[in-house]
Amino acid sequence: MTDYANDPAVSNLRDYLQIRSVHPDINYDECITYLRRQAADLGLPAQVYEVKPKKPVLVMTWEGLEPSLPSILLNSHMDVVPVFEKSWTYPPFEARIVDGVIYARGVQDMKTTGIQYIETVRRLKEKGIRLKRTVHLSFVPDEEVGGHNGMSEFVRSDHYKQMNVGFALDEGLASPDDNFVVYNAERSIWHVTVTCPGKSGHGSLLLPDNCGEKIRYIIDKFMDYRRESKAKLDSDPGLTIGDVTSVNLTMLHGGIQNNVIPEKLTASFDLRLALSVNFEEFENMIKQWCAEAGDSVTYEFEQKDHYVAPTSVDDTNPYWIAFKAAIEKLSVPLKVRTFPGGTDSRFIRLQGVSALGFFPYRRTVPGLHEHNESLRVSEFINGIAVYEDIIPALANA
């Protein structure tokens, strides 16, 4: 078994993973201090922007030989999701290495990627390599709660516009087999709550205008659509979850006492709309369901993402050509997929900039947000070598 104790890249990763930048109520100061130190070690300038108070975005910049060209953005987020510590075998913020595997919250999602970017730049600079395009390393907040106080705001700022970003790399998913997987698109997130009002009264009566009947109708309609999506996915081996619209009932609210018919019940749904969906038609369908359910049934959105066009993966996109060529050089098969969840890439694509989601981890089961989130240390180190091919290819495109 390889001894990683004295590997400086591994030490840097463990230091970053040990910072408890965990929701809720994150203070990003420790992350920023750590990343400023990393930038200083690389000899790179680092700027911190707060488009939203207490939501810092740190950007390290490695200026290219032709800085007027559109730049390359290497994006990662600093925040991680909450943990249920009693369900972990090892403490989630210790970053313990056991039998060549590092266990820590954020080791897949996605602090490791940020450190791989840093270590890749370190290796390239140590070899005396200069790149044609400027490369920016961005470390953003609040991706795990939707990015609305992080990348969503940052891409609309003058700070971002001055970076002249032409292409971005962001997070992907580990691949459980021998392939690499790259994501050129993602589904749009809709979080919708349906409110079903009705006549309140004694629980022993069969009153008209019943909110329970209304909410049963609504739940049935959404769950029927869910069943159709699942059948479509199960019937076609060529499809992945990113190719269909997912529907999940996530919250139910209402009632005050068991023998009192409530005056309203609500149901909330997490919807991820496939690229093939007509958004106007889909919302009209929800509107129709509400009308059919009964009087005064309404819906509202907590989140309603716009349609975001996928990044082109053909010969019209020079960045795709460069990325694909770098992977082909490694003789690793490459699959193109639609990302099943939401990432900061959607905000970048909305600005008309090409973006790809990618993790250089193979033979690794995706473990984002799970108990005992882990990654083989060898995959972390091998991934740096992968980026040593990809980043120069993109920056010299």
Q: In this predicted model, what pLDDT tens digit does every residue of 314-361 receive, in sequence order?
A: 999 999 999 999 999 999 999 999 999 899 999 999 999 999 999 999
User: What one-character-per-residue DSSP string does 41-63 give?
Assistant: HHT--EEEEEEETTEEEEEEEE-
Find the CATH number of the domain harbouring 294: 3.30.70.360
User: Catalytic pick from 109, 119, 142, 143?
Assistant: 143
In a domain, 309, yes or no: no
Check: CB of residue 75 under 8 Å from CB of residue 150. Answer: no
Residue after which a domain boundary falls, among 304, 333, 357: 304
The reported pLDDT for the residue numbered 1 is 61
The reported pLDDT for the residue numbered 231 is 98
Give the sign of the dihedral formed by CA 73, CA 322, CA 337, CA 111: negative
Phi, psi for residue 227 in degrees, rounded to 5: -60, -40
% of the chain with per-residue pLDDT over 70: 100
Cross-strand pairs, 336:
182
Q: Are residues 280 and 245 in the same domain?
A: yes
The reported pLDDT for the residue numbered 356 is 98
Q: Are residues 240 and 347 in the same domain?
A: no
Residue after which a domain boundary falls, among 304, 327, 362: 304
The reported pLDDT for the residue numbered 126 is 98
User: Catalytic pick from 79, 109, 142, 153?
Assistant: 79
The reported pLDDT for the residue numbered 4 is 80
d(CA 255, CA 259) in angstroms, rounded, equals 10
Other C-beta atoms within 10 Å of 111: how many?
26
pTM, 2 dp = 0.93
Q: Are residues 144 and 39 in the same domain?
A: yes
In a domain, 194, yes or no: yes
Instruction: Identify the H or E element spanning 204.
Output: none
d(CA 243, CA 274) in angstroms, rounded, equals 6
Residue 79 designated active-site: yes
The reported pLDDT for the residue numbered 3 is 74
Domain that includes residue 24, residue range: 8-172+343-395
Q: Are residues 122 and 91 in the same domain?
A: yes
Total tally of structural domains belonging to the chain: 2
Q: Are residues 261 and 349 in the same domain?
A: no
d(CA 259, CA 267) in angstroms, rounded, equals 21
The reported pLDDT for the residue numbered 6 is 84
Q: Are residues 252 and 348 in the same domain?
A: no
Q: Are residues 223 and 153 in the same domain?
A: no
Find the CATH number of the domain harbouring 371: 3.40.630.10
In a domain, 274, yes or no: yes
Residue after which a domain boundary falls, among 249, 273, 304: 304
Q: Are residues 163 and 192 in the same domain?
A: no
The reported pLDDT for the residue numbered 5 is 73
Low-confidence ranges of the chain (pLDDT < 70): 1
For residue 341, give the nearest of 224, 233, 248 by alpha carbon.
248
Whose tokens are 């995706």? That residue is 366
3-state secondary structure of 203: coil
